[in-house]
Amino acid sequence: SVDEYPVEAISKRFRYDVALVSTLKDMEEDILEGLKSHDLEEYLSGPFTVVVKESCDGMGDVSEKHGSGPAVPEKAVRFSFTIMNISVPNNSGSVRIFEESKPNSELCCKPLCLMLADESDHETLTAILSPLIAEREAMKSCELMLEIGGILRNFKFIFRGTGYDEKLVREVEGLEASGSVYICTLCDATRLEASQNLVFHSITRSHSENLQRYETWRANPHHESVDELRDRVKG
């Protein structure tokens, strides 16, 4: 509960690699059963490829959930992940030994970070999530050695950010959230333009470019009006 933490604490999180290790250890029986059901060698060391779906969304008003605890913001944001599937190479390609049957269920969704902050608070979310994102980026190029079934096995990870709330993505990247006239975070089309042309639609910018546009929006180096600035950064 919130009562267990210092008054100034606004987040609680696990280290990403530690959370993944704990989750995979909980799935030990599923992994071994998957190898057995596909007639694969039970002593197979890998590499096992794990697809991880990340989710991040506001939890709304939590003012009634922390009882007599300290004075904290009334909004909360949760960052979590789900193991979607695990595959391993064999002679004929890749065999999927595990697939989550209920990927949207709370039962398979593992909380990684809880933040007592409003999802529209760009600076706070960036400060809290940046170390977590850095850990994830590091794991993309690393392999994890983990003992499963008494055998040291090799795991590598693929991350999918398909569970992000669009408003949150906009806020983290410094874009306008509620009420934005732009339809998505990776193109310059407005909602009106998209509604008139449902066929030709493409990605025209990257997440890193969004961050550059945020700096333009924040600093306003050309001393433009709000409308002129909005048209410049298109988001």
The residues pairing with 2 across neighbouring beta strands, listed in sequence order, are none
What is the percent of the chain where pLDDT is above 70? 69
What would the DSSP string read from start to end of 88-122? EEETTEEEEEEE-S-TT-GGGPEEEEEE-S-TT-H
Q: Which pLDDT value is given to residue 1?
A: 43
Number of helices (H), then strands (E), in the chain:
7, 7
> What's the pLDDT at 219?
80
Cα four-point dihedral sign 171, 177, 183, 189: negative
Question: Please, which contacts does 193-196 make with residues 24 or more away whose CB atoms are closer than 8 Å?
Answer: none
DSSP state of 148: E
d(CA 17, CA 140): 11
pLDDT value at residue 228: 80
The mean pLDDT value for 48-60 works out to: 84
User: What pLDDT, in 10s, does the model give residues 91-113?
Assistant: 778 899 999 888 777 778 888 88
Residue 153 pairs in a beta bridge with 146
Rounded mean pLDDT of 114-127? 76
Q: Which residue has the higher pLDDT, 149 or 219?
A: 149
pLDDT in the model for residue 19: 93
What digits encode the pLDDT tens for the residues 8-25? Answer: 677 888 999 999 999 999
For residues 167 and 159, the model is more confident at 159
Residue 153 scores a pLDDT above 90: yes
pTM score of the predicted model: 0.65
Return the higher-pLDDT residue of 71 and 151: 151
Mean pLDDT of 145-149: 92
pLDDT band at 86 (very low <50, low <70, confident <90, very high): very high
Query: pLDDT, tens digit, for every residue of 180-209?
Result: 666 666 666 666 676 676 666 666 667 677
Q: What is the pLDDT of residues 216-228, one digit of tens each?
A: 777 888 888 877 8
Greater confidence (191 vs 232) lies with: 232
pLDDT, residue 33, reads: 93
User: Which pLDDT does position 12 carry in this prediction?
Assistant: 84
Compute the mean pLDDT over every residue in the chain, rounded to the nearest whole number.
Answer: 77
Q: Where are the domains of the chain?
A: 2-164, 173-235
Could you give the CA distance from residue 189 to residue 235 in angstroms, rounded to a whole number?
9
> Rounded distance, CA 176 to CA 230, Å?
9
